[in-house]
Amino acid sequence: MADEPPTVPAPEPPDAPDAWYAPGVRAQYEVRPGVVVTIREREQPGTEFEYAVREPSLSATGAAGLDRLRDYFADAPLDRPLTREDVDPTASTQ
């Protein structure tokens, strides 16, 4: 059980007495179990809202797996793969 990641509390409506977030929060949604998105007013002039995503922390096993995955793909080419639309038309006639 010690290897399980912590969970994110479920969102509460802004007017709920047990709401744990700031008063500038306009909406919160649990988009999948343990993943909460928050929409809040921004304090900076010229910007209306800020969108944030909170995910539960990875367990030690999950973090090690993510590190292995990142290492595996570290040297992968970042160019877009060629599709029929991207292939040079002269190549198809040869």
Residue 88 belongs to some domain of the structure: no
Burial class (CB in 10 A: 0-12, 13-18, 19+), 62: middle
E strand or H helix at 70: helix 60-73
Q: Tell me how crowded residue 76 is: count the other CB atoms within 10 A of its CB.
A: 7
Rounded Cα–Cα distance for residues 53 and 31 (Å)? 10
Per-residue pLDDT of the chain (94 residues; tens, 9 = 90+): 566 766 766 767 766 766 655 667 788 888 888 888 888 887 777 778 888 888 877 888 988 999 999 999 898 877 766 676 666 555 455 5
Structural domain range at position 51: 1-74
- Count up the domains in the chain and report the number: 1
93 in a structural domain: no
CB 31 within 8 A of CB 37: yes
Find out whether 9 and 64 touch, Cβ atoms under 8 Å.
no
In a domain, 9, yes or no: yes
In a domain, 65, yes or no: yes
Is the Cβ–Cβ distance between 37 and 29 less than 8 Å?
A: yes
Does residue 87 lie in a domain region? no
